[in-house]
Structures are given as structure tokens and as C-alpha cells.
Structure 1
Amino acid sequence: MKYHFKFEKILDVKNREKEEALSTYQRSLQAFENVAKELYSLLKKKEDLEALQAQKIISGLSVQEIRHNQHFLAEIEKSISYYQQLLIKARNRLNWNQQQLQEKNIEVKKFEKIKDKDYQSFLQDIRTQEEKQMDEISNLQFFRNVRS
């Protein structure tokens, strides 16, 4: 007797959904990391430029260079602000995808648990049938021996 799980197709679909959710989560994680790296790079540029400007002010800097540096800092600030917004959106998307992945994992585990319980029940039924057959064989042998 072969075991067949009646919800096998549903389990397959749930597994596929889980794999898709995992793939989506990994893509959103990669996007989050890319935005975070870019933001870090911009912050590092700003810090380096401010340090360079402070050093040049000590040694003497023309007004035109100060204006140029201030304009460049303003542009970096705009980029930083933009990437901070992107980072917030990427983090929110990452958290949402993580939640979806957790829900899919829970669904799959529920069906796997159902499958496991169903399989244990199947094995118990087989054992019960075998015991009945052994009892019948034993009874038949006993009656044959009694008649002889």
C-alpha cells in the first residue's frame, strides 16, 4: 500500500509561494544594501569634503573656493536627503517582504505538520491491518490444528 497525501498539490503550491517570497525578500535585501552603500558613500564624501575645507580654511582659502565647496556640499546634502528617503522606502519594503516570507514559512510548516500526522496515521492503519491479518492467520492455524 502506497502513501498519498491528499493535500500534496496544495503543499507544492505553498512551497512555490515560499520560494517566490524568499526570492523577493533577497532582491529587496540587495536593493536595501545598495541604497545603504550609496548613502554611506555620500556621507563619507561629505565628511571628507568638510574635513578638507576645514583644513584649507586654516591654510587660507579664496572666497570663490569657499562658494564652490558650499555649493558642492549643498548638492551632496540634496543627494543624501534623496537617498535617505530611498533607504526608508527600501527598509519598509524589506520589512514587508520579510513578513510575507515568515507567513509563507508558517503556512508551509502547517501543511508539513498535517502531512506528518497523516503519514503517522497511515502507518498506524497499516500496523492495525497487519495485526488483524496476523490474528486471522493465527486463528485459522489454531482451528486447523484443533480439527486435526
Structure 2
Amino acid sequence: MKFQYNFQKVVDLKGNEKTQAEWMLSSALGELQTQEKDLVELIELRNETLLALQAAAERRTPMAAIREMQDYVDYLDNCITRKQGEISQAHQEVSRKQENLNSKALDEKVWLKARDKALGIFQQNLNLREQNELDEMATVRFAMKSL
């Protein structure tokens, strides 16, 4: 006799939901890493521009060019501020996805425990049935020897 869990489709569904939540978390982490990489690139570009601005000031570059470079640095500062906000949102999204994954994993664990409990009961009943059959066989043999 083979064990067949009545709610196996629910267990499978919970497993699939957990896998999907893992993918979503992975995607959110990838987005966060991309945002952080972009921020590092913006900071590096800003630092390079500041060095170029400093060098231009020492070479007696026309004021219009210096002002243009300073405007570009200000623009980069705004981009960096915006990117930091996007990173903050990405961190929040990762947190939400992590909480969702934890919830799905807990859900799956509950259903797996229920299935394991049902399997234990099934095996216990099977063992009891086999023991009863063996006892019956022993009783019949004993009765036949008595005759």
C-alpha cells in the first residue's frame, strides 16, 4: 500500500510560491546592486570632474568654462541625491521581498509538517495492520497445531 497525501497539490503549490518568492527576491537584489553600482559610477564621475575643475582653475581657464564645469558638478550632485533615494527604495523593496519569502517559506514548512505527520500516521497504521496479520497467522498456526 502506497502513501498518498490528500493535500499534495497544496504542498506543491506552496513550494512553487516559495520558489517564485526566491526569484522575486533575487530580482530585487539584482536591482539594488545595479543601483549601487550606478551610484559609485556617479560619485567617481563627480570626483573626476572636481579634479578637472581644480586643474582648470589653476590653468587660468575662462570663467565660463569653469562655471560650466561647476554646473555639471551640481547636476551630478543632484543625480547622486536622486540615486541615493532610489537605493533607499530598492532596500525597502528587498526588505518586502525578504518578508514575503519568509512568509512563503513558513507556509510551506507548515504544509510539509502536516504531510510528514500524515505520513507518520499512515506508517503507524500500516505497521499495526501488518502486526495484526502476523498475529492472526500465528494464532491460526497455533490452532492448527492444537488439533
TM-score using structure 1 length = 0.92
The size of the alignment, in residue pairs, is 147
CA distance, structure 2, for counterparts of residue 117 and residue 44 of structure 1:
58
2: distance between equivalents of 1:69 and 1:78? Answer: 14
- Distance in structure 1 (CA, Å) of the matches to 2:61 and 2:113: 72
Separation (CA, whole Å) in 2 of partners of 1:108 and 1:23: 16
1:49 aligns with: 49
State the Cα deviation string for residues 92-112 of structure 1 (Å, max 9, x = none): 111100110111011111111
**Matches of 1:126 and 1:54, distance apart in 2:** 84
* CA distances 1:14-66 after superposition (whole Å, capped 9, x unpaired): 11211221111111111111111111110111112112322343444331221
List aligned pairs for 1:1-148, cutoff 5 A: 1-147=1-147
TM-score (normalizing by structure 2): 0.93
- C-alpha RMSD of matched pairs (Å): 1.3
**CA deviations over 1:76-102 (Å, ceiling 9, x no partner):** 112112211111111111110011011
**Structure 1 residues 55-64 or 138-147, which shifts more?**
55-64
Which consecutive residues of structure 1, in runs of 5 or more, have no partner in the other structure? none
Distance 1:143 1:48 in 2: 100
- Indicate the percent of aligned positions where both proteins have the same amino acid: 22
- Cα offset, 1:129, TM superposition: 0.7
What amino acid is aligned across from residue 104 of structure 1 in structure 2? K
AA of the residue aligned to 1:13: L
Q: Distance in 2 between matches of 1:55 and 1:111?
A: 67
CA contact (8 A) 2:56 2:66 kept: no
Residue identity in the other structure for 2:112: E
